Structure 1
Amino acid sequence: MKKILALVTAVILTAGTFVGCSSGNKKTEESKNLNSLERVKKDGVLTMGLNDTYPPMEFRDENHNLVGFDIDLGQEIGKKLGVKVEVKTNDWKGIILSLKSKKFDMILSTMSITDKRKEEIDFSKPYIVGGQRIVVKKGNNTIKDVKDLKGKVIGCQLGSTGEMSASKIEGIKELKKYDGVTEAFNDLSVGRIDAVIADGQVGGYYLKKRGGDLILLDAKLTDEPVGIGFRKEDKELREAIDKALDELKQEGTLSKLSQKWFGEDVYK
């Protein structure tokens, strides 16, 4: 009798295992058949990757909360798609690799659209136009333009378009590369470097917060359209977010975010 009961129990457990595996495999197959937009809507979550050292676009406030223009923009995009937005921070130098390995659905982190990056990923339409500027210490009258950087020690953020622009400047003494642009500003403030190459909007915001020890020069090195990065196969998600960006601009939401973070409407 015990042997019969044991045999019946084993059969039931085995059958249950097969049913469980079958159900799990079915869900996996269903997920595989969904395109990027369908998958995000089914899960109810859109994940965005960013590097949190780029004020006013994405940074930590005094309470260590993640804030900034891109954070607010991500939330507005989530509302348009009808999903929650989850933020995942990442080292800037490895952010494209993390996107391609599916750590998150998109990069929303003030990423300039370049031909080199377009070889690896796709971009949304530009949602803002940035550009590299020169930051110097207040009272330094020896640097007024790009040509004055000859023989100087320059700082920039590693892996950024600021690094790309700085590396093209002829005759500089040394180019120091930092994980975060705030570290470069700190070194500039104490005299370890002579100037920083950074995005103008980022530089302008950060300098206001510092109390006036650094200044942003008028000279502009580049004009850089900024977009949201996607895996090349995620066409449907990219198109849906392009549509959301159009609507947010038409409704005036982007202008409101610009006023909030930059103190002006850059969309006029």
Structure 2
Amino acid sequence: MLKKLSALFTLGLSLVLVACSGKSADTAKETTQWEKIEQAGVIKVATPGTYWPTSFHNDKDELTGYEIELLNEIAKRLGVKVEYQELAFAESFASVDNGSVDLFVNNLDSTPEREEKYNLSVPYKYSVSGMIVRADGSSGIEKADLSDWKGKKAAGEAGTNFMKLAEKLGAELVTYDNVSGDVYLRDVENGRTDFIPNDYYTQALYVEMMKEQFPNLAMGKAKYNPTKQAMVMNKADNSLKQKIDPIIEEMIADGTLKALSEKYYSGADLTKPEEGADKLPVVDFSK
């Protein structure tokens, strides 16, 4: 009888442990990134707030721009609000890494290195690279093959792909920490730097807008490295990317994104690659 009771007790204890174990497995299921956003009702976004025309403050000191309006529309379609954190380049990547923001936008190129480390959205903008130089030719940068960058002073934020490219071509790097565009322009015009490598369309608009203040600045003749821009997300899981990608594609299909592009880029449709972009020089700066 004692053996039977002992066996029954052991069996009962085993059943309890199995039940508890099953319950723990259920509760231990990790919450995905999207589930956290959905529960909070807020998506947290790192953005510079100083990069016209994608992320900047207007005359009313309101954060706006191509990427800001794009994200506001994405959030609207997802049924959540957006909380923007205006951060510098390196700090923004660190914030994605540690989870304090959900994604980072800053006209960021989709590159193999970033694809390996992060979840990247489908492209929402296609462009080519260019440079701002002195209009009087004293920057000494004119060659289409970019062979005259060596020894010239390139201006940009530390760690960007444009500065990596400039370093690869032998330029001397002069770095800045999330300053406004007029600081860059002033330094090129006064000779502290020689050129600013960056997105061609963004620069062309800015040079035109600031012509009165900086009359000795112009776009360099060379175009290079076709690019496509994407949002950067943590690679912990794919849940946020799976939500955002279809909305970007939907906005391209319904014309919403084209309208935003034309609004901020003087009528240009940057939702598709520029004609002839595949024939431009490409510099591999990953090595």
Normalised by the length of structure 1, the TM-score is 0.81
- Which residue, 261, 264, 270 being the options, matches 1:266? 270
More helix as a share of residues: 1
Say if 2:89 and 2:157, in contact at 8 Å, map to a contact too. Answer: no
What's the counterpart of residue 135 of structure 1?
A: 132
Say if 2:154 and 2:163, in contact at 8 Å, map to a contact too. Answer: no
What's the counterpart of residue 190 of structure 2?
A: 190
Say if 1:126 and 1:227, in contact at 8 Å, map to a contact too. Answer: yes
What's the counterpart of residue 71 of structure 1?
A: 68
Say if 1:158 and 1:180, in contact at 8 Å, map to a contact too. Answer: no
Q: Which runs of 5+ in 2 are unaligned?
A: 1-25, 273-287
1:117 aligns with 2:153: no
Most deviating of 97-106 and 241-250 = 97-106
Q: 1:195 to 1:131 in 2, by over 3 A?
A: same
Pairs within 5 Å for 1:50-199: 50-140=47-137, 142-145=140-143, 146-170=146-170, 172=171, 174-180=172-178, 182=181, 183-199=183-199
Residue 31 of structure 1, CA deviation = 11
What's the counterpart of residue 236 of structure 1?
A: 239
| Distance in 2 (alpha carbons) for counterparts of 1:31 and 1:226 | 37
Residue 193 of structure 1, CA deviation = 1.5
Aligned partner of residue 148 in structure 1, secondary structure: coil
Q: How many residues in Structure 1 have an aligned counterpart in Structure 2?
A: 238
Aligned partner of residue 117 in structure 2, secondary structure: coil
Say if 2:114 and 2:120, in contact at 8 Å, map to a contact too. Answer: no
Give identity over the alignment, percent: 28
- Superimposed CA distance per residue, residues 116-161 of structure 1 (whole angstroms, 9 cap, x where no aligned partner): 2233311111111233212101221642122233332222222211
| Distance in 2 (alpha carbons) for counterparts of 1:230 and 1:150 | 35
| Distance in 2 (alpha carbons) for counterparts of 1:38 and 1:186 | 46
Normalised by the length of structure 2, the TM-score is 0.76
| Distance in 1 (alpha carbons) for counterparts of 2:28 and 2:84 | 22
Say if 1:165 and 1:221, in contact at 8 Å, map to a contact too. Answer: no
Aligned partner of residue 133 in structure 1, secondary structure: strand
Q: 1:30 to 1:250 in 2, by over 3 A?
A: farther
Say if 1:188 and 1:195, in contact at 8 Å, map to a contact too. Answer: yes
What's the counterpart of residue 256 of structure 2?
A: 253
| Distance in 2 (alpha carbons) for counterparts of 1:113 and 1:266 | 15
Residue 248 of structure 1, CA deviation = 0.5
| Distance in 1 (alpha carbons) for counterparts of 2:121 and 2:135 | 38
Q: 1:241 to 1:102 in 2, by over 3 A?
A: same
Across the aligned residues of Structure 1 and Structure 2, the Cα RMSD in angstroms comes to 2.1
Say if 1:53 and 1:59, in contact at 8 Å, map to a contact too. Answer: yes
Amino acid at match of 1:136: V
Residue 30 of structure 1, CA deviation = 7.7
Say if 1:157 and 1:184, in contact at 8 Å, map to a contact too. Answer: no
Q: 1:202 to 1:30 in 2, by over 3 A?
A: farther
Say if 1:156 and 1:166, in contact at 8 Å, map to a contact too. Answer: no
- Which residue, 40, 45, 67 being the options, matches 2:42? 45
